[in-house]
Structure 1
Amino acid sequence: MPNIFSRQRKPKQEDAIPSGFDWSHAKTALSLAASVGKTAGVPYLEGVAEIAIQIIEIVETMKKNKEDCISIARDITDLLDVIKDIMERGRNIKQNEILMKNVQKLESDLGIIKTKLVKISNRKTKFHVTSDAEIIKECKGKIRDYMEIFNTKASVNIWQNTGEILKGQEDLKEAMAHIAKTHDQSNITYDDLERITPTASPVFFGREELVAEGVDHLVNNSQAFLAILGAGGIGKTSIALHINNVPQVKTKFGKASYFLPCEVLPDAKLLLQGLIQRLGIEVGQGESQHKKLEDYFRFNTQSILLILDNFETPWNCDPLGIENILGKLASFVQISMIVTMRGLNGPGPVEWKTLGSEDSIPPLTPESASKVFSAISGKQELKKTGDSIQAILKNLDYVPLAITLIAKRARTVPVESLLRMWEQGKNVNSGTRKPRREINKFISFLPDGVADWAANLPMMLSGWKQLDESISTLLETSLVYSQNKTIKTLAPIREYINGTGMNIQIGIGLLESFYVSWLKKLSGTTQEKQDQIQAHILNITKILTKQASSLTETLDIEALDILTDFTKFYPLTLDLLNNILDKCDGLDQKHKVELRFWRLGMLMWLAMWQEAEMEAKGMEQSMQNDLKSHARVMRQLADMYRLQSKYTEATEMLIRAKDQFEQIGDQWGAAQCLRRLGNIYQMQSKYTEATEMLTKAQDQFEQIGDQLGAAAVSARPGRNLSNAKQIH
């Protein structure tokens, strides 16, 4: 396989670096890579290039350890040059899920490397010389790992496009011209954000102590991170808005308090755009949004408060990208943050102060709930109808959103009538109103609700009678609500229905049939498909998890395979695979083996090394009679060790895997192991062994007629095999 990162490659005369390493030349090359990423619509490459430039600048200004770190700067420059080359040569680059996820992960890891180099650069004594050397070695190893990853991607990409280069270049020019016109048009505008930004409601009871606690934390800490956690509808946003309106908070932050409704900012790219819009930062054509945001915070050092509302949306959709942004924001000491989100823990690596004495915001007290109901409904006859109102509020579990909705209904409906309507709609154990009762159970089962419900519900519940009438009644009685074309059950009603343990197995079967068919019919780019799945992902994983114990006959591997194509959802699909593998004892052995390999791949992608190694060793033990699968597991273990720079263990495992592939006559599998061995030896500067392994791999690929495999060893002149031979 060609080593496109050879440390001793001979540059062309026109691009040669005259004195070991030309800092200006490197920065220019990296800026070009950033422009290519921006033009191609690949924001992670743009972010990678910006961080790489910062690393170059850090190394350039070092007084100690500079010589040791120059190789890091050189390797990063070479790495970005190759990725830029892939972007320029490839077609449909954004649809290459594997390539995109590796660029995204590279951005995160380069950020970590930058942080470590900053610490080394700022040290004033030699006390840390030994630990600095270890850190530098670790950083070098990480960069070389990415060299290996993109080495393969580049070779395969070039091979696949050999006959299409000229046409691809014309297509790229056309695409770049189109992108250049539209690139600066943000998907989120200031008006979009302002349109859905709420104001603090004057109807606000029973939260005074929580507000005071939040104010105290923000005002009495120079930098504060406050997490307001709890279930949907519990009043998290209202608490945040009221904290922001307290005079002491206004005094500290002045006008530098910014509210972001994150339900419309579902990933890192859109969250970044939202911040840019809220802060009023102008980003010109060809400029990096990341850099403009960082420059803004460098020059504006007054205290700033960011209120990130409904933050579970971007956090659940894009945890890696969001964690990166949170880390950058927290690194500026003048920035304080409030997040409101569902869950029990604040997001990312930030040390959040959780508001309240419990893990989440509690419901209102009965007294406060009565005040809210009375203020919104305008009903003052509480003494006459107090028992009826308290019965409704109790059924609502004193949840503010549910109380608000039912109180608005009470403006035009007598309380006694409202209670009767409520009981008829809520009482799922009664024998009346069966269609409405079943639909309520059905919607309550779905954590995401039903997106685009007017179109999807009839398909989900094909043949159900009185569907439109039942939905209308449920909406009128506030048992369900519709928001952004998604219909959901109120949180307390959902908990009540799901808590009764009612059997809805038939309904689950209908849902499974709908979603399996829906997944197979998805169309568009990878990003477009991912966006479509996002509105349903919790429903899909819950349904398949629920059916896990009876999936031996109904499990659709093709549909599950589609779902596992999207790395954004790996944390959820990993849980799904765990449930299926744990509960489906009768699952076909062939399918079970494949599912275990999927699970292992996800664990590795998520860098859950301990869990991945335990899984791989368990597979190695259980698959001893399946020699091919056993060899595959050993090869996966080798990849796992290599990615952690454990080259001795990786080499040992690859030799074992190669021998077993040869034993069963699988020449292709053996050749893959030889190629990997050659790469590991080359990364360790063992050029004699590298040349031997890579030569054998190339010969073996050619013998079995695998020209792509042979090309992956020696496709690019002057690199990898040929270069290893020159060095040797």
Structure 2
Amino acid sequence: MAPARDSSSKTAATLGVLRDALMVVANVADGGISVPFVKGSAQIAIQLIDAAQVVKSNKDDCRDVAQRAAETMLGLAKTLTRLDPECDKLSDELKIQLEEFQIKLNDIRQVMQDLADRGRLRRFVKRNVDQGTIAGWKTYLDDARRQFVESSLIDIVVGQVEIIKKLDILESGIQNTNMSALTQDQIMESPLLSRTIPAKPAVFLGRDQDIEKALNTLTSQIDPQAHLAVLGPGGMGKTSFALTLLHHPTIKDHFKQHVYFVPCESANSCDQLLFYITSVLAIKKQDGEDILTSMDTFLRRGPRLLVVLDNFETPYDQKGSNQNIVDVLGRISSVRQVSLVVTMRGTIAPMGMSQVKIIKLGSLNPEASKQAFLAISPETEEQNALEELLEEVDHIPLAVTLIANLAKLDSVESLLQEWREKKTALLADGSNRLNNIEVSIGLSLKVKAIQEAPDALSLLALISYLPDGILMAQETLEAKTPHMKARKQALRALRQVALIQEHEGSINVLSPIRHYICKQHPLGQIHRQAIETYYTVLISKYDWDYKTAKPQISPPSSRTAATLGLQLWIS
């Protein structure tokens, strides 16, 4: 089995390098390649790689298709840079062929995305049909490579650009492209970096007080430069909150059309963050200036505006120093006519923002949760089962949305039974954080604070292992975790990323997180033994009357009875 895993890992790494190379092609295409399809096709190939990385059926074949598409696209880009610069136009025949290639590539991407989003049953039923489809893709891409890259069909002029040098570097295994090396004229407009804001969420309920607080903060006449940090665990609807704000009549009246939404989920460096911000705000680098100076001048000379930096944890929590990110945030937030809204996973606002107000989003209240569900799936009738199901997922907005969409195809009672059997796997058929709750939780575990705290996952596993969490945490945490030497650092990290809930001295986790951690990161034997020893000693100090032990152990119930298999206590 080991060679297969090694091969799969190597393929994933290869696709990562190819993806970075395609990003370079897309970003510098305007700098010298006067062929419109190059930019679009590179972006499609990137999306194809992303989809291939998350498909669950015919995975190796799908990755092979993505690799062939990327290599064909990159080979084509190299060919374009090496041809005779005396010619300046594509032949009509080649234009048609390139357009057809882009259309076919997009068709493959769309079907690949459908494969990634399929549920288990549909994957099983369609597996053999999909294999035939994928084989056809491979044949087409091999033919396209021979046609465009290995033949002499292309008669196109291109200017002198840096693609060849950058691709050679990337193909040697260097993946961290310096985006600041690209001039503004070389920036390609990605569809994800639009200068118009995304649509308002179709369903957004239960946040009226928080929205009102945000509106008062951003439109205050007393404190006109206040900024906002929208914080919370993954799946709480921070992005939806920001978009609801941007579309609110009060915001439109206050900022007019000068509102901007910058998605930061893929901004893995300070250079990329600057690239995203300047692209969305249409900031051009001026002659004789660096991009930071041009951005500062643009903001100070412009009208009052509102900028949302969504999923800001991606650039902010990168490994190593984030001082450059902090400096950029400080520059923007110091401009008097700029208001910032930053959304990010966690409980602490990022450094660099002055006069920042904080809004922490948690689970919906039961009534709002129910109304949100019914807004998506209005035909639902089993009210008792619905309330129980929503309680099972702790009224987390993302979980409510996913279950409501499933309820269009199945009964609530059936979904409740399936949740009890599958837990978070029921909500894991999508390919990204917005339609797969396991992906959303997994992203929180990749945050730098968690990765750098040696005992963070072990402590989270322990809290998840105990159905009632850790009671009287301040007094008992050390005794329950004798082998966790970095427990304090671990606890701070879990707080920072909002993976735990604290109430009246107790520490617990939300239901989907608990089930996911128990499945993916089970408690180690050494910690299991330590907690069993703790409770065994504790029980021996009390009479068998459970009421005596109430401060430490909850009364017998189906949940607590499962704790560590201490059935002796209630036998």
Give the TM-score range, shorter chain. Answer: 0.3 to 0.5
Q: Which has the higher helix share?
A: 1
Which protein has the larger Cα radius of gyration, Structure 1 or Structure 2?
1
